[in-house]
Amino acid sequence: MKAAVLKSFGSPLAIETVPAPVLGTGEVIVDVVASGVLAYANEVLSGARNYLLELPIVFGAGCVGRVRATGPDATRLRPGDWVFCDPTVRSRDNALAPDVMLQGLTGGSEGGLKLQKYFHDGSWAERLRLPTENAIPIGAIDAKDAGRWCALGKFLVPFGGFLAAKLQAGEIVLVNGATGSFGSGAVAVALGMGAQCVIATGRNETALADLAQRFGARVRTVKMLGSEADDRARIVQAAPGPIDCVLDILPPAASAVQVRTAVLAVRPYGRVVLMGGVGMQGGAGLELPYPWMMRNCITLHGQWMYPPLAVTLMAGLIRSGQVTLDHFEVTAFDLDHANEAVAHAAAKSGPFSMTVIEP
């Protein structure tokens, strides 16, 4: 089969023929129809992000496709079923603290690298082999909409954060870093879950205005100007009431001060979820006042990715119309142009812009 292979960091993807995956027990093989391209894929491929990858590897994290074959332990999946292939692979031998890796993107940890040695290759190929539990039915869709359904990935990451925070309908949410692809997805998801209001922060004034125009009065935007106290004061002023939940999803280039600006805006007994990349490239750590956190009973939760049930729940929110895929502008490339797709994703990153590869 044809695949896009990363042979060494800093070199272009090699488009070549590789052996087709062989089915094993506890596994599914999927015909890949569309796979999203992360805005920062170029940083992973260059080695700048220092992701743990055993090379050579078929690159690509997650996809939408159709089941080709299932192992003997599958009781519901059938060939032809449309599925979202969740790249979040968990070890099966420790339910309390499983190792986690993102298939086709990073081992995440030394334990995750052991998983990667087996579930080695990603989705930028004609076929993908993955654990049975990671091939999650999404119901019948039109094949021409498969690329748009890759937006599930943009929604699932912040959805995992809101599930961890136990977000309730009617609450006020602050999305810190709302102008990126995952941050803008967080705004859409919070509204779909019933948030009374979303305070969206960012430095890109044009992107903030776009969010306000798309979602109307339930979104209030705050441009971050760089002064911690002043920015926090404007966040609090913009909110129609006490802020119940803060989701930080700032990228690695942001500073810990930007995180603290948002965290300290939450109300007493409020919840904060950290999902961004701050600190991944070095720099000062996040300093929070112990007495303030203790006296105000603040819940601080770190969250990487999302629980397995999240895909089913998010597909339900999309099918019910609470969250829509219609906002996304999709640009598709075939496998032969995977390197061009990576460049395009980096150049056209931002709210509701999505690049996909369609093998």
Over the stretch 234-276, which tens digit does the pLDDT of each residue have? 999 999 999 999 999 999 989 999 999 999 999 999 999 999 9
Residue 130 is predicted with a pLDDT of: 98
7-42 pLDDT, tens digit each? 999 999 999 999 999 999 999 999 999 999 999 999
Residue 11 is predicted with a pLDDT of: 96
d(C-alpha 350, C-alpha 354), whole Å: 8
Task: Based on the fold, state whether residues 37 and 23 are members of the same structural domain.
Answer: yes
Task: Based on the fold, state whether residues 181 and 298 are members of the same structural domain.
Answer: yes
Q: Which residue type occupies 20?
A: A
Q: Residue 225's domain is classified under what CATH number?
A: 3.40.50.720
**Is residue 122 within 8 Å of residue 128, measured between CB atoms?**
yes
CA-nearest of 23, 30, 150 to 82 is 30
The residue-averaged pLDDT of 121-135 equals 98
Residue 280 has pLDDT above 90, yes or no: no
Share of the chain above pLDDT 70, in %: 100
Q: Could you tell me which residues come within 8 angstroms of residue 274 by beta carbon, excluding any fewer than 6 positions away? A: 248, 259, 286, 300, 301, 302, 303
Q: Which residue type occupies 303?
A: Q
Question: What are the structure tokens assigned to 11, written together?
Answer: 């070199």
Specify the pairing of strand 243-248 against strand 88-90: unpaired
d(C-alpha 147, C-alpha 343), whole Å: 18
Residue 296 maps to a domain:
yes
Three-class SS state of 15: strand
Residue 134 has pLDDT above 80, yes or no: yes
Residue 315 maps to a domain:
no
202-225 pLDDT, tens digit each? 999 999 999 999 999 999 999 999
Residue 307 maps to a domain:
no
Residue 197 maps to a domain:
yes
Residue 282 has pLDDT above 90, yes or no: no
Mean pLDDT of the chain: 96
DSSP conformation class of 245: E
pTM, full prediction: 0.95
Q: Residue 15's domain is classified under what CATH number?
A: 3.90.180.10
Task: Based on the fold, state whether residues 282 and 160 are members of the same structural domain.
Answer: yes
Residue 323 maps to a domain:
no
Strand partners of residue 221: 200
Number of folded domains in the chain?
2
The per-residue DSSP string of 176-188 comes to ETTTSHHHHHHHH
Task: Based on the fold, state whether residues 191 and 254 are members of the same structural domain.
Answer: yes
Residue 334 is predicted with a pLDDT of: 98
Scan for tokens 């009973």, then name that residue.
Answer: 297
Task: Based on the fold, state whether residues 84 and 177 are members of the same structural domain.
Answer: no
